[in-house]
Structure 1
Amino acid sequence: MRERNIPAIFIPQEFLDSWDRETFGLVEYDDKVIDSYSLSQESKYFLIKAGLPESASPFLTFESSLNGGGVKLTEKYDDANPLYSKYIYVGFTGNGHPICIDELNDEVIYIDYDNENEEVFINSSITQFTESLLVYVDFIEKIKAENGRRAFLERKATNASIEWVANRLEEIDADSLTQGAFWKEELNNFHC
């Protein structure tokens, strides 16, 4: 397995060069709509130039502008609380919870409908999120090599592999491993 060397400044082309587009295609967002948001220029540029994967581990699905992605959560769901107008919908988790970008601070979150609509932190920015997705792909390859092809589905990983991915995720975005955060909870699902 070739470990990715993720640069300090992650740009769309580096993501495009690293992502396996033949296996996991990419979704595109309407540049005029994305440009109208008050996201950082870095986030806008990334979404317009690279987009997001159609799907990614762990069980995440993303929707293009043509399929209802890249719009305010309140536009996607007519019955959404007006407080959610600050969220730009980009996809959903394996449990169907919407994945969004907070327009006020560029954070990537999901809304846990099963837990009183709790906003669950994923990453501090879209670039850190996509970097984390790439590292997670490496983690899955690593645990499959160690524990067999069903290791990810069976949630089997060595302590060393879990420590390795945790260190990589922390290098990318230390906040992503705080208690209750998406990546922290994901790693808590593994056993030796």
Structure 2
Amino acid sequence: MKWNNKFGKIIVFDKERISRFNLNNQTNEFLISLGLPEEAAPFLTFVKDNDIQYEGILRLTDYFEFLEPEFERYIVIGSNGSGDEIVIDNLDHCKIKLLDHEDYFSEQFMNSSIDKLANALIIYQEFIDDVLSLYGNDGFLDGKYSFEQIDQLKSKLIESDKGSISEGSVWLEEIEILIANKNEIR
């Protein structure tokens, strides 16, 4: 898998920096060779290749020093538009999770691996691109997409990573937001 030009700047990480987190080989290789986009839809931003608090790839306990040692398992790779942290869970097979900063970092499943996260970002961006090509620059924000397009998005996300649309997952929540926005506009 290679990132396409839909995401702007891609941040590839230093091998030595990544090695200190003891991630699995697949996750290490992905971060070192393919990296992460600086930002992606829906309102996600990703960390930089540095050790600066609140900016770089660090343990959650390096971001928030008041947290107990059990939170060291989480490696921060980004955040959503609400300021919740996107993390790699080092004790759960390097699954990608979203941690709710307003609920003492409670977990929400996002993807089963870093490459599944990348696929989901591409799928979601392709959904947006399709909507924009059909309905113009305001098509997405104006909710001009169809329920059929939402169903196709959901099917592609399931095909890529079945668990990504499980109950309470980040991507299922995003699908529900799209449906709610569409219903509100109707």
TM-score bucket of the superposed structures, by smaller chain: 0.7 to 0.9
Say which of 63, 86, 89 aligns to 1:102.
Answer: 89
The percent identity for this pair of structures is 30
Say whether 1:92 aligns with 2:76.
no
Query: TM-score, normalised to structure 2's length?
Result: 0.87
* Cα displacement string for residues 35-68 of structure 1 (whole angstroms, at most 9, x for unaligned residues): 2323221110000111100000000001112254
Structure with more contact order per residue of length (Cα contacts < 8 Å, sep ≥ 6) = 1
Would you identify which runs of 4 or more consecutive aligned residues in structure 1 move more than 4 Å?
Answer: none
Say whether 1:30 aligns with 2:30.
no
Say whether 1:45 aligns with 2:18.
no
Q: Aligned partners of 1:52 and 1:45: how far apart in 2?
A: 12
Say which of 109, 120, 138 aligns to 1:121.
Answer: 109
Q: Which stretches in structure 1 are left out of the alignment for 5+ residues?
A: 1-13
Name the counterpart of 2:5: 20
RMSD: 1.7
Q: Which stretches in structure 2 are left out of the alignment for 5+ residues?
A: none
* Cα displacement string for residues 115-136 of structure 1 (whole angstroms, at most 9, x for unaligned residues): 4432111100000000110111
Query: TM-score, normalised to structure 1's length?
Result: 0.84
Name the counterpart of 1:62: 46
How many pairs align? 176
Name the counterpart of 1:166: 154
Q: Aligned partners of 1:156 and 1:111: how far apart in 2?
A: 31
